[in-house]
Amino acid sequence: MAMALNLLMLGPPGAGKGTQAERFARTRGIPKISTGDILREAVHAGTDLGNRAKAVMDRGELVSDDIMIGIVEERLGRDDARSGFVLDGFPRTVPQAVALDRIMAGRDPLIVVDISVPERELVRRLASRMICADCGANGAPGEILCCRCGGQLVQRTDDNDAVVLERLRIYNTSTRPIVDFYRTRSTFRAINGAQPPDTVAAALAAAIEAAGNGNGRMRGGRR
């Protein structure tokens, strides 16, 4: 039986990990699982979870660990994730990473790729990022209408200058330790995200192949 390709994408807000995750998942025929997308869909639908999460996200803060862990565990338990997945936006704290190790116990190795981009470039990217007002999908640079549903693209409420800086501060204090959590694992790789998208995609594919080929018998969970 073929080994499942379980990929975790790390990187700060604006690093392009969502775009690269979606592209890679599409080419490999596995689901892209984005906690950000799940939360934004809940916000758009006006669910209880969505309303609670919206207030937190609009302040540039992180949704609580217990909510995020529950969302991810449920999603990874679905049948379409058994042959592999690309996880984007989780874990964002060390307790979430510990919980993910528990969730991954007994499954094929978790390959972890960190996309690194200088902070100045991150601020520039985030200040110009757009999102669909109807379906919540991220918009491509220079476009005014959503390529998914045709809705109007608007600036994300959590991408104004003040909130961008707060999100990066939170990343540096709360989320960057995740990189240290995974860095010593043989399935960890880091790539330069301050390059053209096609170059980043090629580097991502090469990093995943190297990590997978070198750890064919490694199981999920912390080493």
| Secondary structure element (H or E) that encloses residue 126, with its range | helix 119-127
Query: Which entry of 75, 156, 185, 189 is annotated as an active-site residue?
Result: 156
Alpha-carbon distance of 57 to 41, in angstroms, equals 13
Query: Which entry of 17, 75, 125, 185 is annotated as an active-site residue?
Result: 17
The set of residues, in sequence order, having a beta carbon less than 8 Å from that of 121 and lying 6+ positions away, is: 14, 194
Has 219 been annotated as catalytic?
A: no
- Would you state the structure tokens that stand for residue 102, as one six-digit string? 């528990």
Has 32 been annotated as catalytic?
A: no
> Which residue reads 């949704």 in tokens?
63
Has 156 been annotated as catalytic?
A: yes
In one letter, which amino acid is 113?
V
Alpha-carbon distance of 90 to 109, in angstroms, equals 16
Query: Which entry of 28, 52, 107, 129 is annotated as an active-site residue?
Result: 129
Query: Which entry of 92, 125, 185, 189 is annotated as an active-site residue?
Result: 92
Has 82 been annotated as catalytic?
A: no
Alpha-carbon distance of 25 to 42, in angstroms, equals 22
Has 28 been annotated as catalytic?
A: no
Secondary structure of 62-96 in HEC code, one letter for each residue? CCCHHHHHHHHHHHHCCHHHCCEEEEECCCCCHHH
Cα three-residue angle 164-200-28, rounded to 5 degrees: 110
Query: Which entry of 32, 167, 185, 189 is annotated as an active-site residue?
Result: 167
Catalytic residue ranges: 17, 92, 129, 156, 167
